A and B are shown apart, each in its own frame.
Chain A
Amino acid sequence: MINNRVLPRFTNTLSSVIIFGSFFFIAGIMWAGYLIRGSPLYTGVGVARPQPIPFSHERHIRSDAIDCRFCHSSVESSPFAGMPPTETCMQCHTQIGLNSPILDQVRESYKTNRPLQWQRIYNLPGYVHFDHSIHVNKGVGCVTCHGPMDNMVPLPEQFPIDNRTPVIWKAQPLTMQWCLKCHRNPENYVRPREQVFNLNWRPQKPQADLGRELIGKYKIKDAGYLTNCDVCHF
């Protein structure tokens, strides 16, 4: 068998190509993994989800001009922004939309004293603690993380399986990379406290100047502190 070749001659070239190419291949896999994990496939940004009732943030914020805190009442004082009890809905809906079939479930909940089961969209992993009150009080606007809620209209199409209307979606990926973008450079994102709940606020002067000023005023700690592991992780 000594004069036979196990593999044809072109495998010489092939093996060089494989060895040389493997570096690019491995780098490519790592980069693809990074892109996939940062994409909506993994983070769910912009992927519309249904709720028990097709609640429109757009109608309540823009048309009715209701403040965020009317429903999410504990946002300034507790880690949890607060989900409104059915009684909050019924403050208005005993007067408005009495015959609307959309509100059937709300009325049902009010009668039976069983809360509506809203689906959580902004879901953080168990090893992270997030406090709404500190962010709101240091001048991080709702819109910075939650996006333009006043534009979130229930989508016209429905989910094919249960005919439910997608009404709400994530505006930001909530990855650690995204959190750190602000924790490393808070001056790029802070705004005056009184503008926190204003979804359409634009800075009057350059954000860099304003940010530096507000950081001094609100005593926001530096990036060295804000990027400590235990600031966010247990």
Chain B
Amino acid sequence: MSQRAKREALTSEESLRPLIKPGHTLTSITNKISAIVLSPPLLTWLQWLIGLGLSFIILMIFMFGVSWVLYRGVGVWGVNIPVAWGFAITNFVWWIGIGHAGTLISAILLLMNQNWRNSINRFAEAMTLFALGCASLFPLLHLGRPEAFYWMLPYPNIMSLWPQFRSPLVWDVFAMIVYGLVSLFFWYLGLVPDLATLRDRTENRLAWVIYGILSLGWRGGSRQWFYYERAYLLLAGLATPLVISVHSIVSFDFSVAIVPGWHSTLFPPYFVAGAAFSGLAMVILIAIPIRYVFGLEDFITMRHFNNLAKLMLALGLIVAYSYVVEYFFRWYSDNTYQSNLTHDQATGAYSWMFWLQITCNALIPQVLWFKQVRSNLRLLFIVSIVISVGMWVERYVIVITSLHRDFLPSVFGMFSGTIWDWATLIGSFGLFLCLMFMFIRLLPGVSMAEMRKLLLHGKMKEES
């Protein structure tokens, strides 16, 4: 066999590998997934409880950090002139970027008919929602007067104040609200048939009432399915442009400013790719432990991880390309401030952050070219952590290094996060993880309805 034929055989074999382990029936799928919620084994339940407990401790760090910020004001953070955008904005961009992978998987892959998404879309969408929740807290805290947040909305008021619609900061508010609502509806709509399954299977009266109300009277009739599929597709169509637009608008927050390092037309695609890149890393980070603890190896197969890793590699290449283009145009612009900034980033006080960014986001992800890495969950987990850290560092470099060397040497300054900066950053993981743990225990983490459909489609293909 020639080298090429071998390779072709390998790829086709890979794409034919089943998305559900052979031997499953419609009932066994439903049994397996609904058992996680309705009657988990004792060991799983204990593991879950320990996980939730640890996340709760981290959540308390967040609560303490946020309370202190609310009580004393944003001065407890390291922000000051010239670096007025510190951790809060870095964390905001990072968290909202995490969310994008969920929508990418659930909406774009749905429209592209990539049915391997069906077992991972549910928790990826939950991840989107929870990441959005974490993200939106940071700009609110950063306001300094969070109680006046509604001033950003156009509403009738006695101040005759109206938002400045020419500012991307206002677009950002709308983008976040729309994105949050569409993600919530999309996630909830996908849940409805599964909630009905849980309603029908639970033995607990309270659970029956709650799942019953949430399932909106779903009976699984063909008319209901007809409308359901339509609505689901429509929402997917709505969510798809949001994947692109939301993070583009986040990038406008930076690129409309004339600050060197921010003022670049490259930012929207660069940010969108980076967002989905870090989000996919987070999906892998969540999928590996969930699969292990809840025994979902039958549904989240190695083919899923392989595909996710390939997608991550592709986006990582766009990010790496964006780095190259960004530095090229800084050099090509022949602008003193741009070249000074690049010099400062590469050799200045924050140079180690800069090189960490390059290493984590552009160099290390190249190992994903190798099948051995993509099929080794331990390595994949480590690479995903590296990418997540790298993407946070990237936002840190963009926010802080661009600001700390302004146009005038007299306003040069340094920034470093205080303990309260770190408390809110680390604590936000607690919030995210707590929500994630509660989600996985109370709602089906893998879509039962879509898995059943996948199985039926597979059977139909075999028979024809």
Chain A residues at the B interface, C-beta cutoff of 8 Å: 1-2, 5-7, 12, 15, 30-31, 33-34, 37-38, 42-43, 173, 175-177, 180
15 new A-B pairs (CB below 8 Å) besides A6-B199, A42-B158?
A1-B200, A1-B208, A5-B212, A7-B212, A7-B213, A7-B217, A15-B216, A34-B156, A34-B157, A34-B158, A37-B157, A175-B158, A177-B157, A177-B158, A180-B160
Asked whether, in the complex, the Cβ of A6 is within 8 Å of the Cβ of B212, the reply is: yes
Q: Which of B10-43 contact A (CB under 8 A)?
A: none
Q: Which residues of A contact B213 (CB under 8 A)?
A: 6-7
**Complex formed: what's the CA distance from A183 to B150 in Å?**
25
Q: Does B419 contact A (CB under 8 A)?
A: no
Q: Does B379 contact A (CB under 8 A)?
A: no
**Complex formed: what's the CA distance from A134 to B69 in Å?**
41
Chain B residues at the A interface, C-beta cutoff of 8 Å: 155-161, 199-200, 208-209, 212-213, 216-217
A12 and B160 contact, Cβ closer than 8 Å, known pairs A1-B200, A1-B208, A6-B208 = no
**Complex formed: what's the CA distance from A40 to B62 in Å?**
42
**Complex formed: what's the CA distance from A181 to B155 in Å?**
18
Asked whether, in the complex, the Cβ of B217 is within 8 Å of the Cβ of A12, the reply is: yes
- Ordered by A's residue number, 27 sampled pairs between the chains whose C-beta atoms are within 8 Å are A1-B200, A1-B208, A5-B212, A5-B217, A6-B208, A6-B209, A6-B212, A7-B217, A12-B217, A15-B216, A30-B155, A30-B156, A33-B156, A34-B155, A34-B157, A34-B158, A37-B158, A38-B158, A43-B158, A175-B158, A175-B159, A176-B158, A176-B161, A177-B157, A177-B159, A177-B160, A180-B160
How far in angstroms is the closest Cβ of chain B from A45?
A: 12
Residue of A with least CB distance to B157: A34
8 A-B pairs closest in CB distance: A6-B212, A176-B159, A34-B156, A177-B160, A175-B158, A180-B160, A37-B158, A177-B158
Q: Which residues of A contact B199 (CB under 8 A)?
A: 6
How far in angstroms is the closest Cβ of chain B from A124?
A: 13
Residue of B with least CB distance to A38: B158
**Complex formed: what's the CA distance from A91 to B410 in Å?**
58
Residue of B with least CB distance to A3: B200
Residue from A6, A7, A42, A173 with most neighbouring chain B CB atoms (10 Å): A6
How far in angstroms is the closest Cβ of chain B from A159?
A: 28
Q: Which residues of B contact A173 (CB under 8 A)?
A: 158
**Complex formed: what's the CA distance from A42 to B213 in Å?**
41
Q: Which residues of A contact B217 (CB under 8 A)?
A: 5, 7, 12
Q: Which residues of B contact A180 (CB under 8 A)?
A: 160
How far in angstroms is the closest Cβ of chain B from A34?
A: 4
**Complex formed: what's the CA distance from A6 to B210 in Å?**
9
**Complex formed: what's the CA distance from A21 to B14 in Å?**
52
Residue from B156, B158, B208 with most neighbouring chain A CB atoms (10 Å): B158
Residue from B156, B161, B209 with most neighbouring chain A CB atoms (10 Å): B156
A176 and B160 contact, Cβ closer than 8 Å, known pairs A6-B209, A7-B212 = yes
Q: Which residues of B contact A42 (CB under 8 A)?
A: 158
Residue of A with least CB distance to B199: A6
Asked whether, in the complex, the Cβ of B156 is within 8 Å of the Cβ of A31, the reply is: yes
How far in angstroms is the closest Cβ of chain A from B216?
A: 8
Q: Which residues of B contact A43 (CB under 8 A)?
A: 158
**Complex formed: what's the CA distance from A1 to B155 in Å?**
47
Residue of B with least CB distance to A177: B160
**Complex formed: what's the CA distance from A114 to B442 in Å?**
71
**Complex formed: what's the CA distance from A176 to B156 in Å?**
13
Residue of B with least CB distance to A34: B156
Q: Which residues of B contact A2 (CB under 8 A)?
A: 200
How far in angstroms is the closest Cβ of chain B from A10?
A: 12
How far in angstroms is the closest Cβ of chain A from B137?
A: 22
Q: Which residues of B contact A5 (CB under 8 A)?
A: 212, 217
Q: Which residues of B contact A175 (CB under 8 A)?
A: 158-159
Q: Which residues of A contact B158 (CB under 8 A)?
A: 34, 37-38, 42-43, 173, 175-177
Q: Which residues of B contact A1 (CB under 8 A)?
A: 200, 208
Q: Which residues of A contact B209 (CB under 8 A)?
A: 6
Q: Which residues of B contact A34 (CB under 8 A)?
A: 155-158
**Complex formed: what's the CA distance from A189 to B387 in Å?**
63
Residue of A with least CB distance to B202: A1
Residue of B with least CB distance to A35: B156
How far in angstroms is the closest Cβ of chain A from B180?
A: 16
Q: Which residues of B contact A38 (CB under 8 A)?
A: 158
**Complex formed: what's the CA distance from A1 to B196 in Å?**
12
**Complex formed: what's the CA distance from A176 to B162 in Å?**
12
**Complex formed: what's the CA distance from A175 to B209 in Å?**
50
How far in angstroms is the closest Cβ of chain B from A5?
A: 8
Q: Which residues of A contact B216 (CB under 8 A)?
A: 15
**Complex formed: what's the CA distance from A177 to B217 in Å?**
49
Q: Which residues of A contact B156 (CB under 8 A)?
A: 30-31, 33-34
Q: Which residues of A contact B155 (CB under 8 A)?
A: 30, 34
Q: Which residues of B contact A177 (CB under 8 A)?
A: 157-160
Residue of B with least CB distance to A37: B158
Residue of A with least CB distance to B210: A6
**Complex formed: what's the CA distance from A173 to B199 in Å?**
56
**Complex formed: what's the CA distance from A43 to B200 in Å?**
57
**Complex formed: what's the CA distance from A176 to B157 in Å?**
9
